[in-house]
Structure 1
C-alpha cells in the first residue's frame, strides 16, 4: 500500500516563499541538483538516552519545481507485524537563494515533530553570531495542531566537526534553534556543510526525547 503525504503551510507563509522565489537570484553554488540523492538515518531516543527505534529514508532531487522551489521527494517504508508494508512519500521543495538555503524536512510518522521546530535553514553569507526569526501558523492538514502558531528562532553558533554514519565533516556550520508554541519548546541543531548541504539535524522534544537525523549515504 502506498500513500502520499503533503504538508500544509499557512497562506501568508506560502505567499512569502513564492515572492522570495520570484524576486531573488538562485545561489550559483547549487547543492541540491536534480538526480542527486541523500540517504538519512533516523535514531529515536527516550528521555534517558535509550535507543527506541531507527530507520532510513532517502531525499531525492527531481526535475521540475515545487511552488518555484527545486522539487524534492522523501519516502519511507513501514513494515507491519502482519508482514505488510506501507510506503509513505512526500513531494516538497528546497530553495537555494543568494541569501539563504532552506529545506522542507520530512514530516511523517515520528518526524511529524519537524513541523514544530525550525526547518533546516542557513542565512548567507554565513557568520557566527547571525540570528533570525520566523513565525508560522500550522495549516489545516495537521488535525490537532491546525491553527497553532510556532515562533521560530535561529542562531548560527559555531563551525564544528560532526560525525554521521556517512563520514566525519569538518567545519560544518551549526545552527541552533527553538520552536515555541502552546505545545512546548522544541529544540533543534542543524549542521550544514558547504558541499553536502544539511548533513545532520538533532531534535529535542519538550519531554526530553530526542530524534537524530544524520546523513548515511549520497550518490555523488
Structure 2
C-alpha cells in the first residue's frame, strides 16, 4: 500500500480539490476555492474550540508556572524544527518584543543563531542542537518550550531531557496524539493538538502559544496588583506613625 506521501498529486488534490477542475470552467473553480476555504476555516475553528475546551485549565496552570519563573528571573528558551522553528522564534519574539503597552519578558529562540546551529550539526550532530544550547544557557527558573507537529523529534526530546535535568520548567506543544513527547517524563506540561493535518496543527499551535503569552502576562499583572494592594496599608501606617 502506498502512502499519501508517495503521491504529491494526490496530496495536492486533497488539500486543493479545485486544482482538478476543468480549465475552462472558471466559475466552477471559484466555487471550489470558496468551498475549500470554508472547509479549512471550519476545521481550524473546530480544532481551536476543542483545544480550548480540553486544555483550558492546563493552559492557566502552565501560565501560572511560567509567571513564577519569569518573576524569579527566568527566561524563555523556545525551540523546534522546520515550521516549528519559525513558530518557536515567533514565540520568543512575542515575549521579548510585544506591543507598546505590554511587558517585555526575556526570551531566546534556539534556532535564531544559524552559526551555532550549523556548527553543532556539522561538528557533533543534529540531535544535540537544542540540548547543547540548553546545557550552556539553561539555569534554574528558565522555561524550555519545544514545538513539534509529530511530537517525535529526537533533538527536541534530548533538549527536554537536558532541561529537566537542570531543573527548568518544560513545556511541549505537539500534534497528532503527542508522539514520544506524550511518553516523556521530562515534559512538565504537554499540549496536544489532535489533528492529522500538519497545516491545522500549526495554526492551532500558534493560537495556543499566544494564549500562553496572554495568560502569563495576566498572571504577572495580577501578582503585581496584589503586591501593591498589600503594600498600601503598610505605607499608610508608616505615614500615620510619622
**Fold shared by both chains (TM-score > 0.5):** no
TM-score between the two structures when normalised by the length of structure 1: 0.27
| Bigger helix share | 2
Q: Which has the higher contact order (CA 8 A, sep 6+)?
A: 1
Q: TM-score, normalised by structure 2?
A: 0.25
Structure with the higher fraction of residues in strand conformation:
1
